[in-house]
Amino acid sequence: MRNKLNIFSTYILMFAVLLSSVSSAFAFPEEGMFTPDQIGRLPLSKKGLKIKPSDIYNPNGVGLSDAVVRLSVGCTAEFVSPEGLILTNHHCGFDALVSASTPQTDYVELGYKADSRTNELPAKGYSVFMTQRVEDVTAKINRGAENLTGDARAQMIKKNTEELQQQEQSKAPTGSVIRIQSLNSGFFHYLYQTMQIKDVRVVYAPPRNIGVFGGDPDNFEWTRHTGDFTFLRAYTAPDGSSSEYSPNNIPFKPKKFLTINIGGVKENDFVFVLGYPGGTTRYRESQSIDFAESTNFPFLASYLQARSEALGKVGETNEEKRIKFQSDRAGLDNYRKVYEGSSVALKRNDTSVKKRAEEAKFAAWINANPQRQAKYGEVLPSLTRISSEYYPTAQRDLILRTLPPTATPVFKQVYEAVLTVQQGKTLTPAEKQQKLTEIQKVYQTREPILEREVLKFFLKEMAELPVNQKFRAAENLFNKFEGKERRSAEETFAESIAERENFDTPEKVIKLYDLSLSDLQKRYPNIVEFMTALGQEKSAVMARTAKFNGEIDRLRLLYQQGMAEMKGIQPYPDANSTLRFTYGNVRGYSPREAVTYSPFTTLRGMIEKDSGEIPFDVPQKLIDLQRAKDFGRFGVGNTVPVNFLATTDIIGGNSGSPIMNAFGEQVGIVFDGNYEGLGNDLFYNEAVGRTIAVDIRYVLFVTEKFGGAGWILGEMNIKGRTPVKARSAATE
């Protein structure tokens, strides 16, 4: 699940299982990405946890959470040895492999093994962030703002936040950073103290046909047979301080590393996950869900697909660029599938319908009490009013807001030049030199084919807008054409910006600033008309958006407060790439009528998928190991477990998270969620939402028996053994 992974389906689901002093709340399915301070108040011993909550998170000592870190690429990882050895997903180490690869040596395809620490591969651009402290400071931030509204309240909260952050930073150890974040439109405020390690290296990564086995066809699908893991190592300066890469650096000594258990898991076993889920918005109003389902998600899916296909065209005749962009394409394809699946999930779940029914209950609850009417009476009517003003042109506004994207650097520079001239501004010599330097920088990495294809996508999207949302400038240029002729005219327009000699050097673009508007209109009439209109429309969209945002946050805060009060519970905060805890059970699911999935897959099943063609090409050595039943200590019956499912509530950012058994021992690595569970940034569906994890036995089997890197296991604390006949996977 690339980070890869906003609203609940119903407020019954949304609040029923949240952290609460009301015991009945826990009668509902477990959901929640809980903050560390909430762990101690969860009914974990009743659910099956065999260790103390303080063994997981201990603000006054050391807990399992101290072994779990966030990678700078947006993933989770964990220390698994006293020598700074890190375990995470293959797709989380993907960029490091790509950046070190050449057309002659593709580490994604071949994998990478360091036979000694001196040969460990620097992971360019990677760093590790460790959470040292988490504190709920909501009361401190709200102090003095309880009876304020509007700008006065915002200013008081801003003042309190800045003062507290400065105070705490002054007391923090050297190298630690304090930040205070507002969550859920100000419902919560949390303080985080973190430390960064800047030297990270690749120790072992399996080849593509293990680490990415199944590719995009299997992404978010069950069954899975993917060995999505990579070993890294963190290094510091000899004095233990954070340092950029140096051959003199030494392995980092974590204060906690995880114990590995190869005894396996069985169906219904209690498990839990610690990680850094990226982002959720599960407390939004029904209108926001409608927008996500019908407009935002479909557009984003289409846009990401267009970008991926464009990068594919860039690499068709250039092997170096094919390798360079394979990580980008994997990420784009991943998120495209996320948005496609999320839109489908919202429809299948009737999320908007359920949300509106919940809001009707909320309205009745408010109207039943004069004090509630005074406090919350404006919430639903105001949400309806501002939504009816903002969303009617949402599809058009989304396109205009997104254009120009980063994939169109030439368009962006020409657009800025046209608007500058149109507004009558003149650059000083210093400003012109600064602008030239900026243009030169973006031209170093521009891809004309990519830009052309992305511009064609936006023009096509504009053409397909409803009649009442048309972008008039585009219609003026292209409405005389239809079908293929219009597509051809749009392509010519895109080529004139992205590929032709008009703007093929930074010097040609900077000269635009010296022309008058009339000169620009004579030379590039269509481009100037289009870009001038785009600037005007974007300004209007920004003004509408600012007005909407200026009202919506206060209403969303009241909305959450009122819903929580009605339910009598305390919600958990939305995810925000900070340390979280979630728990559940190993369990299969039924995706549709007459179909039931078991929660385990094996090496034998992987070989059944073998077609000899990418992405289902099983390495011959794995086939040989299966035939010889050469599994070492990691086999179950006549095969090796590969992946398993759990009901833990995760999302993008949890990639690489350890999934642990009731004793806090690592039994797998989170790497994906299932298609039926998408939309989980908006709501949680316990019936079908599943975490997909790599079984730790497959990780160690591949590392030792396939990769010949058994020395890595020697660093780790491995306990338990797989019984001859286990219930953790099919053995027939």
pLDDT digits (tens, 9 = 90+) for 377-419: 999 999 999 999 999 999 999 999 999 999 999 999 999 999 9
Q: Which domains does the chain have, with CATH numbers?
A: 11-127+198-282+573-719 (2.40.10.120), 286-543 (no CATH)
Give the pLDDT score at 147.
87
Confidence of residue 17 (pLDDT cuts 50, 70, 90): very low
Among 670, 651, 676, which residue's Cα sits nearest to residue 597?
A: 676
Confidence of residue 721 (pLDDT cuts 50, 70, 90): low
CA distances from 528 to 473, 496, 590, 643, 710 (A): 10, 12, 55, 55, 63
User: pLDDT of 246-289, one tens digit each?
Assistant: 999 999 999 999 999 999 999 999 999 999 999 999 999 999 99
Spatial distance between the Cα atoms of 43 and 594, rounded to a whole number of angstroms:
34
- Provide the token pair at 698: 């497959």
- Provide the token pair at 24: 């009945």
- Provide the token pair at 482: 């239809």
- Is the CB of residue 156 less than 8 Å from the CB of residue 148? yes
Mean pLDDT for the chain overall:
92
Confidence of residue 84 (pLDDT cuts 50, 70, 90): very high
- Is the CB of residue 380 less than 8 Å from the CB of residue 363? yes
Would strands 691-695 and 270-275 be described as parallel, antiparallel, or unpaired? Answer: unpaired
Weakest-pLDDT range from 9-18, 411-420, 604-613: 9-18
| pLDDT tops 90 at residue 425 | yes
The pLDDT of 225-242, averaged and rounded, is 97
Give the pLDDT score at 692.
98
Spatial distance between the Cα atoms of 670 and 650, rounded to a whole number of angstroms:
9
Give the residue ranges of DSSP H helices in 195-318: 208-211, 215-218, 286-291, 297-315
Give the pLDDT score at 327.
84
Length of the chain (residues): 732
Spatial distance between the Cα atoms of 439 and 411, rounded to a whole number of angstroms:
11
Give the pLDDT score at 331.
86
Helices (H), strands (E): how many in the chain?
Answer: 28, 22
Spatial distance between the Cα atoms of 74 and 676, rounded to a whole number of angstroms:
23
Confidence of residue 13 (pLDDT cuts 50, 70, 90): very low
Among 179, 202, 199, 200, which residue's Cα sits nearest to residue 131?
A: 179
User: pLDDT of 640-650, one tens digit each?
Assistant: 999 999 999 99
Q: How far apart are the first and last CA of the chain?
A: 30
Concatenate the DSSP letters of all residues of 478-499 into one string: HTT--HHHHHHHHHHHHHHHHT
| pLDDT tops 60 at residue 171 | yes
- Is the CB of residue 445 less than 8 Å from the CB of residue 515? no
Give the residue ranges of DSSP H helices in 212-318: 215-218, 286-291, 297-315
Task: Give backbone dihedrals phi and psi of 280, rounded to 5 degrees, phi first.
Answer: -135, 155
Confidence of residue 26 (pLDDT cuts 50, 70, 90): very low
User: pLDDT of 559-589, one tens digit each?
Assistant: 999 999 999 988 899 999 999 999 999 999 9
Give the pLDDT score at 569.
84
Concatenate the DSSP letters of all residues of 619-666 into one string: -HHHHHHHHHT--GGG-BTTB-EEEEEE-----TT-TT-EEE-TTS-E
Confidence of residue 25 (pLDDT cuts 50, 70, 90): very low
Q: Which amino acid, 529?
A: E
CB atoms < 10 A from the CB of 90, how many? 27
Concatenate the DSSP letters of all residues of 349-390 into one string: TTHHHHHHHHHHHHHHHHHT-HHHHHHHTTHHHHHHHHHHHH
The pLDDT of 711-726, averaged and rounded, is 77
Among 524, 557, 655, 646, which residue's Cα sits nearest to residue 211?
A: 655
The pLDDT of 165-169, averaged and rounded, is 97
The pLDDT of 301-311, averaged and rounded, is 96
Confidence of residue 149 (pLDDT cuts 50, 70, 90): confident
Q: At what angle do helices 394-402 and 525-567 cross, to 10 degrees?
A: 120
CA distances from 324 to 13, 107, 718 (A): 43, 12, 37
